[in-house]
Amino acid sequence: MTDIGKIIHSLDQRLKAVERSSRLSSASIDNTALEVRDDSGSLRGLVGQQGDGTTAINIVNGPTPPAPTTPTVEPALAALTVTWDGGFADAVAAPLDWMRCEVHIGPAGDFIPSQGTLRDTIETPQGGMVTIPLPYTEWHVKLRSRTSSGAVSTPTPAVAGTPRKAETADLTAGIITADLIAVDALTGKTITGGTVTGATVRTAATGARVVLDTAMRLYNPAGEPLAEAVPDATALGYPNDAGYIVYNTVGIGRYWAMLSRGFIRFGKDGEDYRWGPLIDHYLSGGSTSVMKLGSGAIESGGEEENEATISLVGTNAATPGDHPHVDIGGSGIRDSGRADLNVTGNITTPAVLTAGNIRAGRVSITPSAANTPTSATVTGLGIPAAVTPRATATASTAVPGTQVTGVGISALTNTSMTIWLTRTNTTTTNIDWIAIGA
């Protein structure tokens, strides 16, 4: 027979044991998270396994925190010092999920705080001070509270401030001495404005370097000069010319090129130039622009060698009959300044002299009958219309005067001409011709 009293007594003892034990003493959260919700059912936190595989207490959907109190902004040397007293709007207490106070800076008072305007943070609700380097213009500072759930408060009103430039109290005469500047302390630094006066400024004592003294010089790793900008070129024999000089040292000596006022001059150390090779530009009479290429002339035994020149001459359009042209000339006493133009080549790379007013070609003519003049028309000459065409023709033959009795030209224009052939027979003959616009 069941004893109801014993059963009730047993249940009472077991219930008391459960009431006296720790909550969830034997419970576990296996590969999941315990959700914490408020009285409206909104999710407020997750305890346990998170969505990214980590295990943590994650606070979400927290309430909007109160705004910090308006900061104090003071100018500092090239910076602003921002101070927050740790208070909140309406004197409310710091929320338990509060994380930091954000310091935002913008160029105008109506700027909207964002990730791009965040310049620093204060990590304690007791307040703090931060100093932010800024350019010397007016800036505006706003603070925002942020909680562990990511909620952010409304910003504080903007407070304006302008960084301070160095004053006498910051840098008095003699305040910076040699023992205050460590060796290489200025490596990679920037000096803006002011004047540096000294005998020599250089990037290294030997080897590849840039040296600035009475000139600006560039040296290669062997210590040889590669280039220099000089106030005069006395060392090269041109004391009145300032310029930029580039050197090239080869086995037979050192060559150089100098860019100066309106010309480029070339030379070689140890050569006594009467005139150095050059590319020059000048105005002749104020109306003609001339670009001149000169080969240079070397003095030898007191005798002046010839210098060859090519000049590209531009002209003044207002001068009647004046036109651009090329002059080839020589100077000196040998050959009375004679200058020749040689166009050379070889079998694989022939040299061809062409000009827009010169045309040449060959035409074949078969006489219609013996001793009967027969013609062929040449078209497409393309002689410029501004010049008058001249032409000549000759037969390619070994029997001139006997079988080939005549070759002539008629109807010559800038675009075409007629060539005539007369033979004592009807043999086909090649006629070579040339037309020149004079």
Q: Can you give the pLDDT of all 438 residues of the chain as single tens digits?
A: 678 888 888 888 887 776 666 665 666 777 777 777 777 777 777 777 777 777 777 677 778 899 999 999 999 989 999 999 999 999 999 888 899 999 999 999 999 999 999 999 999 999 999 999 999 999 999 999 999 888 899 999 999 999 998 777 777 766 777 676 666 666 666 777 777 777 788 888 899 999 988 889 999 998 888 999 988 888 777 777 888 999 998 888 889 898 887 889 898 888 877 778 999 988 876 578 889 998 888 876 655 567 888 989 888 766 666 778 888 888 765 555 677 888 888 778 888 888 888 999 999 999 999 999 999 999 999 898 888 999 999 999 999 999 999 999 999 999 999 999 999 999 999 999 999 998
CA angle 244, 245, 251 (to 5 degrees): 170
Please tell me what DSSP assigns to residue 90: G
**Helix (H) or strand (E) run with residue 14 in it:** helix 4-20
Give, as one character, the DSSP assignment of residue 15: H
- What dihedral do alpha carbons 312, 317, 321, 327 form, nearest 10°? -10
pLDDT at 332: 63
| CA atoms of 69 and 156, how far apart (whole Å) | 7
DSSP state of 363: E
Q: Which residues pair with 239 in a beta bridge?
A: none
Can you say whether residue 374 is alpha, beta or left, with left for phi > 0 and alpha for psi between -120 and 50 degrees? beta
Residues 6 or more apart whose CB falls under 8 angstroms from that of 255 comprise 247, 248, 249, 266, 267, 268, 269
Residue 140's alpha-carbon distances to 69, 118, 157, in angstroms, are 15, 12, 9
Give phi and psi for 395, each to the nearest 5. Answer: -85, 140
Q: What is the pLDDT of residue 188?
A: 65
The DSSP-derived string for 154-169 is PPPPPEEE-PBPP-TT
Instruction: Decide: residue 423, CB within 10 A, 0-12 exposed, 13-18 middle, 19+ buried.
Output: buried
Distance CA 70, CA 155 (A): 9
Q: Report yes or no on whether pTM surpasses 0.85.
A: no
Phi, psi (degrees; rounded to nearest 5) at 20: -80, -15
* One-letter identity of residue 176: I
Cβ burial 183-216 (10 Å sphere, 16+ → b, else e):
eeeeeeeeeeeeeeeeeeeeeeeeeeeebeeeee
Kindly list the distances between the CA atom of residue 437 and the CA atoms of 380, 391, 434, in Å, as whole numbers in the listed order: 14, 9, 10
Residue type, 237: G
Q: How far apart are CA 122 and CA 100, in angstroms?
A: 6
pLDDT value at residue 424: 96
In whole angstroms, what is the distance from residue 321 CA to residue 386 CA?
A: 12
How far apart CA 277 and CA 232 sit, in angstroms, is 18
Instruction: Please say whether the beta carbons of 78 and 146 come within 8 A.
Output: no
Q: Which of 286, 282, 220, 281 is nearest to 254 (CA)?
A: 220
Kindly write down the DSSP assignment for every residue of 141-157, as one continuous string: EEEEEEETT--BPPPPP
